[in-house]
Amino acid sequence: KNQVEQSPQSLIILEGKNCTLQCNYTVSPFSNLRWYKQDTGRGPVSLTIMTFSENTKSNGRYTATLDADTKQSSLHITASQLSDSASYICVVSDYTGGSYIPTFGRGTSLIVHP
């Protein structure tokens, strides 16, 4: 069964600090991995996508990494801002050859304090 595990479950940091969120997956065959940001009371929004051949991808202050051998990904947030307070969800997709049914992690809840 495909699974996605995220850690930590929650994280509190001070504004301006960096942090790294982790995602481990057992999804096969692997197609791609996305990180979503979900603000409180809103739907998730995609931050970045990683495919098998990509190791690192940046989107502003967000940098995602992927190690397809160890089946791990990380999301690094640089110089955190109050607006980074949200839940970050790791979503992994396989090649089903038909319908697209991704596997969701439970998310990491990040709180940035001033």
Binding site for other proteins (CB under 8 A): 31-32, 34, 41-46, 49, 51, 89, 93, 95, 98-102, 104-107
Residue placing its CB nearer to other proteins in the complex, 44 or 77:
44
Nearer to other proteins, 12 or 79 (CB): 12
Q: How far is the CB of 4 from other proteins (least distance, A)?
A: 9
DSSP 18: -
Amino acid of residue 51: T
Q: What is the smallest separation between the CB atom of 101 and other proteins, expressed in angstroms?
A: 7
B/e letters for 80-105, b = 16+ CB within 10 Å, e = fewer, are: beeebbbbbbbbbbbeeeeeeeebeb
Nearer to other proteins, 3 or 56 (CB): 3
Hey, what are 6's tokens? 């995220």
